[in-house]
Structure 1
Amino acid sequence: MPCGGGDIGLNVWSENGDVLFYAARSGTFDENNSLLKLGRVRLRLTPNPFEPGSSFTQTLNLQTGDVTLTGAKGPLKAQVHIWVDVFRPVVHVEVSSNQKLSAEARYESWRHQDRVLKGKENNQNSYKWAPQGEVRTRHDSIAFRSGTVEFVHQNRPVTVFDVTVRQQGLEAVKSQLFNPLQNLVFGGVLTGENMQSAGTTEGEYQRTPFRAYALRSHSAARSHSLTLALHTSHTPSLPQWQQELQQTLRAAQHNPKAARQQTLTWWRSFWQRSFIHVQPGKSAPNSAEWQAGRNYQLMRYLLGCNALSQWPTKFNGGLFTYDPALTDSTLKFTPDFRNWGGGTHTAQNQRLVYWPLLKSGDVALMQPQFDFYLRILRNAELRSQTYWNHPGACFTEQLENFGLPNPAEYNWKRPAEFDKGLEYNAWLEYEWDTVLEFCLMMLDAQQYAAQDVRPYLRFIESCLTFFDQHYQQLARQRGAKSLDGEGHLVLYPGSGAETYKMAYNSTATISGLRTVLTRLLALPPQVGTAEQRRTWTALLGRIPDISFRETDGHKMLAPAKSWERVNNVESPQLYPVFPWGLYGIGKPDLETARNTYRYDPDVQKFRSHIGWKQHNIFAARLGLTDEAAALTVQKLQDSGRRFPAFWGPGYDWAPDHNWGGAGMIGLQEMLLQTHERKIYLLPAWPKSWDVHFKLHAPYQTTVECTVKDGKVQNLKVTPESRRADVAVLLQ
């Protein structure tokens, strides 16, 4: 069961009479760019109200963001309450009982010694299937200090950053590159009120050996409290890190009641911002549509646990991965494992985690993803300057947290003459347009929540400049002209997601460039200088038109003007529908987009609800109610795991956050869509489903609506002046 807040995530459970939790925090990248967990805590009470045969409940309270475990055996009753401080990196464990109990808390680490990673286990880091020599997860330093357990991982001077820079021929600019792994130190301290150190023991859990460092209560009592304080910083000095950790611990212990109230206030505000309750008066756990509504809320909670982080929520498990053998019984790896890397960000997947935060009113939660790109902007620009001697930021698809391509995907076995700026990879070559979706998110954050877009203008412009400069340069290398006969860019070679490769004028790329430029020009006149606007206007004029094709007399959006091969199972011919919004409800030529969904042979073949598949979103945006409902329910139905929103692994890992994100987006789009100032309500909603929801729309607007028995029974639009822009489309 997940529990978290701020940028900390816990997996909480009870087993054989013990209460356990894993602790994870954003940004804990080791030398190999694995996203390491911060350990496992085990709590044992004596006499034990949780031992087998006792009465037991475990509850995740979404409204307050905490987990409570309650046990009773005979007259003995006890409760363990676990919560995370939203504003400080601190976990609180509070034990209360009707009889005096003794408590033992163990900090358990599988990193008490070095571990050599072999085979698929390297998929948790940036080396993946192409390690260069032996790869080790280095041991942590763990020790008892004054009745506490202190644990720390300090990155060694040489990391995968250095290996990647050398591989990709960037040594000349290395000193200018942002390096998040350098001098990174992270860990924490476990301490208990009225507790003392009680030695170490060895054990094994889920096939992984560990060492436990125990704290034991001085005496039995009716209440006990534990504190797990965490700290991450960039410092070459371990004593300095320890001093900062103690400051965090003192702050946590100063006034925990006030901290609890602050946390409760934050979660209350979070849940008041938005919600979707499907079949609210007909709570039925076996109902597929009820599950969809409940699991939407659970997925939003998982995202809320990383609200105040410096780093984005990872698509491949976020903060809530667990022992890999419970996802794939063949994997004898540690809880640090996740497929597709820890510091590697797959942009096509990351975007699905962040798109739903606009309509849920959680624009503030998008800040870590935006900051991620701002930090690595200079690195992406240095790539363009070094390889091609032109301006603009080049962001590849499998992107390290330091802004360079993943070294395994970049490929060590490259032809000597191959362009050093390209990934030598059949799936990823020439795929660099996903960053435009994050440009649009930045513009949408301004439109939805009045967030100042000016800090992002240089980033957006640099991304656009890359396409303009790079494709004109490629055209000049092929011939005498930099544009085609109509004065348009020739976007070749390009890519339609990872699927349509060596594409000429990819529809997804054209749609992205056109939408971002159009939105830039629609910004208030005080944003951007006259010269900037002339530049944007000129570039918009150089964007080519989308291509079409026909099947059995049906006009459809084509993936590109032409392509050489199909390499994956995505449907980028529908990206003009989502995310780019060029086609949809209330927009021209809706039938062409619907034809694409219904008749395109690849769309038909690739249609699914698994993982990052987006067909539920496409169907909702096209007003195809039955298809949208069926696919979204499949997306958001119970996962089959003990926690219903731990989907996956899909194409990635469990819990699959881009699976959940795509489900959230689909449900939102069934309820509310917008075009310019128009708000379309219930454009793809089944009349037989009751719903009560509150969602956000552009221009700082919220819409709260109740549908019961096929009729809108209550509609509240804030501000009221926007009510005239609302059109109810429930059929």
Structure 2
Amino acid sequence: MEHANFVPQLRIYVPNIIKNMKNKLFRLGICLCFLSFISGPKEASAKNELPADVLKQLNQYNVVWNTLSTTGSMESMPLGNGDITANVWIEKGGDLLLYIGKSDTWSEATRLLKVGRIRVKFTPNPFTEDAFFSQELNLHKGEINVTAGPKGNATRIKLWIDANQPVIRIETASDKNISVSCTTELMRPHPYTMTGGDDPLASSFRGLMDSPVRPSESADVLERKPDRIQWYHRNQSSFFETILTHQNVPELIGKYPDPYMNRTFGAAIIGESMHPQNDSTLVSSKEMKKHTLSIYPYTAQTATVQEWNTQLEALIASANSAPLKTSYKHHQEWWDRFWNRSWIFLSGDEDAEVVTRAYLLQRFMMACQSRGAYPAKFNGGNFTFDYKGKNGDYRTWGPGYWYQNCRLYYWPLSASGDFDLKKPWFDMYLNMLPLQTDITRIYYGHEGAFFPETLNFFGMYIQDDWGWNNKGKASQTRWIRYHYSGALEMLSEMLDSYNYTKDEAFARRYIIPFATQVIRFFNQHWPQINQTLRFIPANAIEQFWDCLNPMDYIAGLKYNITQLAELPVGIVEPALLKEWNDCLQALPALPKTGDGKRLLPAEEYGQGRNFENPECYAIFPFKLYGLGRPDLDVALNTFAHREFKQTTCWSQDPIQAPLLGLADETKEFLLKNVRATDPEVRFPAFWKPGSDYIPDFDNGGAFTIGLQNMLLQNVGKQILILPAFPASWKVDFKLHAYDNTVVRAKGTGNNVTALDVLPEARKKDVVINK
């Protein structure tokens, strides 16, 4: 098993400088955001198809609707290829609509915007009120199928976003001749300037809400083309230098290229036997039974619009270099291999089926949106839609990445074997490392790198969190002023991923440089008293401010350094091992009550500010306590006495409970998460906002981790099977385990009825819960 060809990508700051475009760009992987668009573990051969019994179970969870949308995109279905996404719905009047998203469409005001909104009309209209209608999301094929009209006069539509090429296909087949039109409805027909904190879209601009210069976004531009409709949005201004200046590092201007300036994104739409009626609409040249529309979204940083056009032309040529049938065959093969990596099917009652559906749809959406240039956003991902008066460009909490939130939907991708989907997440943090190292040196005069809890896709604080008149060396907001443990958890995620694959190239490329700078920061930033580090001032995540020796710092360092020491000889230089071991020896003890029976959030702490349980970080994410580990009674006592008992959104209760063997509690927590939906929103996995925005992906991630922990846990070399599984449920699962191991098991409660472990040598390490 290998990581998703975790090879260096172009740094995220670097504009799309592409030489010999026609010959080289697409050999390297379609476009920049697809440079490493390769599957993670060694993919199954063409003959190793998804087993028929698994396919039958999977097909039962296709989402099928038999009525048209009455509330617009709130009743949309998701679709995607990892980078390009679409919300798809059909209005009551009969028009097919798409919101098109992409992972790298950052505006000059730092927001992640939609590429566009598309409307397709059919004449005569097959979507009449009394006509048969079916809209089905086919998970196995990665497509949406629509059928409308009576037998003998039906229209069938297939929508798919090519898993291997940057193109959306809309194929229509009718029993009788019809005509088709396609219109781009510009998302931003006019420039927009945020008016201030009372602006209805203010939260979507978070980071620039308090800017003395109001953030503005330019209008989208329609281009006149003879054979297509085409549009783009181009950033001709940027806040990048403003952010560097206001965060007191103006000397870095010029060292790191501006990631916003001249970023241009848009799309071309071309239809067979179609021509432009005007700059925004394509129409059929004649009525036909079959029609194909192709949409080509593209993002690049180019010196001129013409250069962007030239690159888009090359992209279109490459996307069509193979026959459509061949491309579709390869698309289906990718999705078949994806579903064959792993699965979970629960049964026994309706609750089990609800959890299964939630798991499958969450995993599907991650596959749709996490193979692009940047990781998915926690607050809506790439599937935002019109909601409570805001359009698809809006998301509460804005464009930043909150580690506390985003981590939750990337942690479970190792157990599911989706290592390729983790690459944008790891890349973003690795690419930030040089900038964050420079900032640490400038601010504090020592080595290492710190990472803010809330940051931009290129690094640094969200500017509103840093403050616009802050001349100091720490964030103005106390919520995250000393909240540095996200980097420790990112390191633990990398180490966890390595434990699955044993990919030494990944360890050298990602783990060693990241660990070096992160641990060095913690080792040098605070003083030692009597050869013991004294972490003050510090945050215990967001919960406790200005505390002493918080659990997340100490547990994170202890867990990670212990893991790093187990890397193979030759990966880590001896001097670096000694530096890490010296740090480990200098750590204060884990904070506990006087009798040692319960863990504490910190050695000293004051008033709680949020609703989190930092003391439980020693259970997850830093697995020092739990099943198969020392002092389980301490962990159980700590969890039982946690102050905040809650589920949904980013709560860790569904994750930590199964690590302690609490089957019934885990079941209860999972059900609360999977039922966290808005009844006005049709797709059952567009999780309601909670503390974030809709779809709330950290909610989906939290229950996904919890469900996996219910079924399989890695403890050293041991593989615990059904360690926290409810007695009333049945399961058929295939999951990945440490050391390149894959486990397929069937069981009821704690009774395993079938077990297959590859390689077979690992079967001796399996421990079945009794």
* Residues 1:218 and 2:285 are matched in the alignment: yes
2:72 corresponding residue in structure 1: none
Amino acid at match of 1:229: Y
Please, which moves more after superposition, 70-79 or 534-543? 70-79
Deviation at 1:159, TM superposition (A): 1.1
Which residue number in structure 2 is paired with residue 170 of structure 1? 249
**Do 1:50 and 1:73's aligned partners in 2 also have CA atoms closer than 8 Å?**
no
- Pairing 1:160–2:205 present: no
- Whether the 8 Å contact between 2:491 and 2:515 is mirrored in structure 1 is yes
Aligned to 2:138: 61
**AA partner of residue 635 (structure 1):** N
Q: Say which is worse superposed, 35-44 or 638-647, in terms of deviation.
A: 638-647
State the match for 2:183 in structure 1: 106
Q: Does 1:460 find its partner at 2:504? A: no
CA distance in 2, matches of 1:677, 1:695: 16
Among 613, 628, 631, the alignment partner of 1:589 is 631
Summarize the alignment of residues 529-544 of structure 1 with structure 2, pairs less than 5 Å apart: 529-544=573-588
Match of 2:466 in 1: 410
Residue-by-residue CA offset, 1:283-315 (whole Å, 9 max, x unaligned): x7xx22211111101000111113421211111
Check the 8 A contact 1:398/1:406 in 2, yes or no: yes
Matches within 5 A, 1:597-612: 597-600=639-642, 602=643, 606-612=644-650
2:74 aligned partner = none
1:574 offset after TM fit, Å? 0.4
CA contact (8 A) 1:126 1:160 kept: no
Question: Alpha-carbon deviations, 1:201-235, whole Å to 9, x = none?
Answer: xxxxxxxxxxxx21110111101000000111121
2:344–2:733 CA contact under 8 A, matched in 1: yes
Q: Does 1:362 align with 2:414?
A: no
Contact 1:440/1:516, CA 8 A, preserved across alignment: yes
Determine if contact 1:392/1:463 at 8 Å carries over to the other structure: yes
CA change 1:333–1:133 in 2 (3 A) is: farther
What one-letter code is carried by the residue in structure 2 that aligns with 1:220?
Answer: E
Give the aligned length.
684
Check the 8 A contact 1:104/1:216 in 2, yes or no: yes
CA contact (8 A) 1:9 1:320 kept: yes
**2:63 corresponds to which residue?**
none
CA contact (8 A) 1:178 1:376 kept: no
Cα-to-partner distance string for 1:361-409 (whole Å, 9 max, x where unaligned)? 1122111111101111111011111111111111111111121101101
For residues 209-248 of structure 1, what are the structure 2 equivalents within 5 Å?
Answer: 213-248=280-315
Is 1:132 the counterpart of 2:212 in the alignment? yes
2:480 maps to which residue? 428
Structure 2: which amino acid aligns with 1:339?
Answer: T
Structure 2 distance, partners of 1:597, 1:79, is 53
Percent of residue pairs bearing the same amino acid type: 33
CA distance in 2, matches of 1:252, 1:364: 21
The one of 636, 640, 644 aligned to 2:674: 636
**Structure-1 residue corresponding to 2:171:** 94
- 1:413 is displaced (CA, Å) by 4.7
Aligned partner of 1:304 in structure 2 is: 367
Are positions 1:723 and 2:723 aligned together?
no
| Alignment counterpart, residue 273 of structure 2, candidates 184, 194, 213 | 194
TM-score (norm 2): 0.87
Q: Select the residue among 457, 468, 493 that pairs with 1:401.
A: 457
Q: Is the 8 A contact 1:398 1:405 kept in 2?
A: yes
Q: 1:162 to 1:126 in 2, by over 3 A?
A: farther
1:89 Cα deviation after fit: 1.4
1:445 to 497, 509, 518: 497
Separation of aligned partners in 2, 1:714 and 1:539? 46
Q: Residue 123 of structure 1 corresponds to which residue in structure 2?
A: 203
Q: Is the 8 A contact 2:516 2:576 kept in 1?
A: no
Separation in 2, partners of 1:297, 1:307: 15
Deviation at 1:445, TM superposition (A): 1.9
Q: Is the 8 A contact 2:362 2:700 kept in 1?
A: yes
CA deviation after TM superposition for structure 1 residue 74, in Å: 6.9
Q: Secondary structure at the match of 2:533?
A: coil
Displacement, 1:410? Answer: 0.8
Superposed, which structure 2 residues align to 1:262-281 within 5 Å? 262-279=330-347
Letter in 2 for 1:11: N
Q: Please report how far the alpha carbon of residue 124 of structure 1 lies from its aligned counterpart in structure 2 after TM superposition.
A: 1.8
Q: Does the Cα contact within 8 Å between 1:122 and 1:131 map onto a contact in 2?
A: no
Instruction: Tell me by how many angstroms 1:610 deviates.
Output: 2.2
Q: Where does residue 204 of structure 1 map in the other structure?
A: none
Task: Answer yes or no: is the 8 Å Cα contact 1:161–1:402 preserved in 2.
Answer: no
Q: Pick from 504, 515, 535 the counterpart of residue 491 of structure 1.
A: 535
Q: 2:377 — aligned with what?
A: 314
**Is the contact between residue 577 and residue 584 of structure 1 (CA under 8 Å) also seen in structure 2?**
yes
Contact residue 750 and residue 768 of structure 2 kept, 8 A = no
Looking at structure 2, the residues matched to 525 and 127 of structure 1 have their Cα atoms a distance apart, in angstroms, of: 44
Tell me which stretches of 4 or more aligned residues in structure 1 moved more than 6 Å. none
Contact kept in structure 2, 1:410 and 1:424, CA below 8 Å: yes
Secondary structure in 2 matching 1:175: coil
Letter in structure 1 aligned against 2:654: N
Shift in Å, 1:265: 1.2
For 1:582, what is the secondary structure of its paired residue? coil
1:58 deviation in Å? Answer: 0.7
SS of equivalent to 1:264: helix
Residues 638 and 393 (structure 1), Cα distance of their counterparts in 2 relative to 1, 3 Å cut: closer
SS of equivalent residue, structure 2 residue 414: helix
- Listed one character per residue, the Cα deviations across residues 304-363 of structure 1 (whole Å, up to 9, x for unaligned) are 11342121111111111111xx2xx3xx43321111122x11111111111001111112
1:181 and 2:249 correspond: no
Deviations 1:542-587 (A, max 9, x none): 121111126xx89211000011331111111101101111000011
* SS state at 2:201 partner: helix
Report if aligned partners of 2:228, 2:271 keep a CA contact under 8 Å in 1.
yes
CA distance in 1 between counterparts of 2:104 and 2:533 reads: 39
Instruction: For 1:578 and 1:644, locate their aligned partners in 2 and report how far apart those are by CA, in whole Å.
Output: 28
CA drift of 1:120 comes to 4.4
Q: Deviations over 1:138-164 (max 9, x none)?
A: 1111123113111111111x3121221
- Does 2:542 align with 1:502? no
The change in CA–CA distance for 1:383 and 1:710 in structure 2 (over 3 A counts) is closer
1:514 to 545, 558, 562: 558
Q: Which residue of 2 aligns with 1:209?
A: none
Per the alignment, residue 689 of structure 1 pairs with 729
Alpha-carbon offset, residue 628 of structure 1: 0.7
Structure 1, unaligned runs of 5 or more: 201-212, 473-482
| 2:37 alignment partner in structure 1 | none
Structure 1 residue 253 corresponds to structure 2 residue 320: yes
For the residues of structure 1 that align with 2:112 and 2:324, how far apart are their CA atoms? 29
Q: Distance in 2 between matches of 1:31 and 1:709?
A: 54
Amino acid at match of 1:98: D
2:498 maps to amino acid: Q
Partners of 2:124 and 2:763 in 1: CA distance = 61
- The letter for the 2-side match of 1:225 is T
- Where do residues 74-85 of structure 1 align in structure 2 (5 Å cutoff)? 75-85=152-162
Cα contact 2:123–2:178 (8 A) shared by 1: yes
Q: Distance in 1 between matches of 2:369 and 2:714?
A: 28
Shift of 1:250: 1.7
Which stretches in structure 2 are left out of the alignment for 5+ residues?
A: 1-76
Amino acid at match of 2:430: L
Q: Deviations over 1:251-286 (max 9, x none)?
A: 22332222212211111111000111011xx6x7xx
Aligned 8 A contact 2:208 2:215 in 1? no
Structure 2 residue matching 1:82: 3-state secondary structure: strand
Alignment match, 1:546: 590
Please list the CA deviations of residues 389-441 of structure 1 after superposition, one character each: whole Å capped at 9, or x if unmatched.
Answer: 11111111111112110110112254x5xx32x11102111001111111112
Identify the residue that residue 352 of structure 2 maps to in structure 1. Answer: 289
Alpha-carbon distance in 2 for matches of 1:433, 1:395: 8
The one-letter code of the counterpart of 2:692 is: D
- My pick for the range that moved more, 164-173 or 219-228, is 164-173
CA distance in 2 between partners of 1:367 and 1:238 (Å): 30
Query: Residue 210 of structure 1 aligns with which residue?
Result: none
